[in-house]
Amino acid sequence: MATAAFPEKVSDDSTQCTICFYTFKNPKVLPCLHTFCEHCLREWVQKNDGDTIPCPICRQPVSLPQNGVEGLKDNFFIASLVKAVTEHNKVRHGKDELLCTSCEEGKPATSRCSECAEFLCESCESAHRLVRATRGHTLFTFEELKTGKYDNVVRARKAPPCSKHPGEILKLYCRTCETPICNECALFEHRDSQHDYTRIEEVAAEKRDTILDLTPQCQARMQFFRQTEEAQKRLREQLQLNVEGARQNVHRTVQTLTALVKEEGERLLTCIHTEESSRKKQIEAEIEGAQISLASAKSTCEFAKTLAREGGDYEVASFSQDMAARLNELTKPPMEKVNFKLANITIDYSVMVQKLTKNRPKTAHYSLPKSTERELCSLLKRARQSGVSSSTGPPLGRYGDRVLVNGGGLRPGD
């Protein structure tokens, strides 16, 4: 019987919902491959009224099925992993809470079958040893399992049964229909010559290699997202420095021109404040976008690695198409830009000049230092080249026009 196991340590990111931060309950997976508890998604839908909701992690729009959250795809891989981890911890810590999974009498389990990945009570254990089909199976008592010597037995997770043919295990994979099938499915529903099916182990091996080949490229993209976030933060700091410089300049000018120019000076400060707020919002939005992209890429990589190394054949095969599509999307040339002109603040005293021609102040410019701009460009370029081996994406930064603060608001400078 096909089974799958997990490593000694499974990270909390793989078994905990990022909304409630508890162990997954009825996990549902979105098209972007982010997984959440069903009840958490129901609350999320209520907060985001409509037929489409944003993913809580990457903000990708998700169209809800007609029956809402219930119609979303079950993440049977995560559910199986959570169940296996829970059982493993109970056995290792000597908890007597595990019940027999072979019968419906609710008796405490006393052993576990290595081949069937089932916990057995005393009665089922005796029957297991007598039935011809299972009497050759290896059984381990709880006392043996508690020693930790046979952890691989507890970790084993059996492949799920066919939903159409109870009692049949999904051992095959139809390449034509791109779905796991059982022997009965192959005999009756997929026997047509147009259907190309093979053992699910072979398909899983191919899909697992594809996922593992794509995952490092996705991880490399994470470095670009980190550097983009750092560049935006540096840009925000420079904006603050330039805004402070502009404020000081305005204050000195107002003091020189005294009461006659005080009204004009206050208006200029208002323009600077408005521009600062506007640009800071833009930069904050870019920073948030970089953080979201980083979180999305990280969670996708974690999910991909966990699925590839720890998922069963059925699970890997079932997720392979969506996973490959998601990983390929993340390995495309990055489209992100850093708009360096957002840190530039220029003050135009033309209106003040009209009032005081004799004491007309000079136009003051507060721009991102060229050395800092070159440093950030180099930083992003290196990150982009390390994340994408060969690409012809858009430029890393935009070198736009200056923006003037004047009596008429904001306008492009020379």
pLDDT in tens, 327-378: 888 888 777 688 889 999 988 888 877 777 776 778 888 899 898 888 888 8
Tell whether 6 is covered by a domain.
no
Instruction: Give the model's confidence band at 311: pLDDT under 50 very low, under 70 low, under 90 confident, else very high.
Output: confident
Instruction: Give the model's confidence band at 404: pLDDT under 50 very low, under 70 low, under 90 confident, else very high.
Output: very low
Tell whether 28 is covered by a domain.
no
Tell whether 219 is covered by a domain.
yes
Give the total number of structural domains in the chain.
1
Q: For residue 405, is pLDDT > 60?
A: no
Q: What is the pLDDT of residues 175-191, one digit of tens each?
A: 999 889 998 998 888 88
Residue 217 and residue 331 in contact, taking contact as beta carbons nearer than 8 Å: yes
Range of the domain at 356: 200-412
Show the tokens assigned to 181.
Answer: 């099938």
Q: What percent of the chain has pLDDT over 70?
A: 83
Tell whether 91 is covered by a domain.
no
> Position of tokens 């805004």?
243
Please state the rounded mean pLDDT for residues 372-401.
62
Tell whether 333 is covered by a domain.
yes
Q: What is the pTM for the complete model shown?
A: 0.51
Q: What is the pLDDT of residues 93-149, one digit of tens each?
A: 655 567 888 888 878 888 888 777 788 888 888 888 888 878 888 888 777 777 666
Q: For residue 278, is pLDDT > 90?
A: yes
Q: What percent of the chain has pLDDT over 90?
A: 14
Tell whether 313 is covered by a domain.
yes
Tell whether 87 is covered by a domain.
no
Tell whether 179 is covered by a domain.
no
Confidence at residue 40, expressed as pLDDT on a 0 to 100 scale: 92
Confidence at residue 30, expressed as pLDDT on a 0 to 100 scale: 92
